Structure formats: structure tokens, C-alpha cells
Amino acid sequence: MPGRSPSALFCGSPCRTRFNNRRKARGAELYDLVMAWRFERGKTDAMQIRGLIGRLASAYRDSDKRLRDGRQSWILSNGIDRIPLGYSKADGDKR
């Protein structure tokens, strides 16, 4: 795309929107599984939820390889920077 910076992550707004929508949908699926796995261990151990989380992540990566020419659908530094690691239990994560 003309005028695009060589370090740009996306070729334009439509690509950025698709990327973020895919992350949002995948995150919603994983959120429910992770929260259930963390706080309902008795049920989720029997359902093998931890293994499902790993298989789901692998399926996401395989889809990226197939449909996105191998480009990954995660940005490690972007996500880590926004996680409030220092919040207190009393305050929650303030979101």
C-alpha cells in the first residue's frame, strides 16, 4: 500500500478491524474456559478443560497458518502491557 510505513502492523483499517474482531471472538471463547477452569476445578477437571484450552489455542494458530499466510494473531507486548498485574484483591482489576 503506498505511503505505508515499513514497520506498520496492518496494510490498512479493514485489515486492522478484522484482526481485532478475530482477537475479540477468540478471547471471549478462552475467557469462559479459563475462568471456569480456575474457579470450578471439580467440574472442569472432569471435562478436561485445560486440555481443551490448549487444543483451542493450537486450532487458532493452525487457522492463522492456513488463512493468514502464517502471520500470528497475537501481539505479546501489546497484551502484556495492558494487564494490571499489581491490583489488589479488594479493588479487582478496575475494569
- Maximum pairwise Cα distance, the chain: 55
At residue 75, the pLDDT reads 75
CA distance 38 to 44: 9
Mean pLDDT of 76-94: 67
62-79: average pLDDT: 80
> Under DSSP, is residue 23 helix (H, G, I), strand (E, B) or coil?
helix
For residue range 1-50, list pLDDT tens digits in order.
Answer: 456 677 777 888 998 899 889 989 999 999 999 999 999 988 998 899 99
| SS3 state of residue 5 | coil
64 in Cβ contact with 73 (< 8 Å) = yes
pLDDT at 4: 67
- Residue among 71, 69, 66, 95 nearest 23 (CA): 71
pLDDT-wise least confident of 21-25, 74-78, 86-90: 86-90
Is pLDDT larger for residue 44 or for residue 78? 44
Q: Is the pLDDT of residue 81 over 70?
A: no
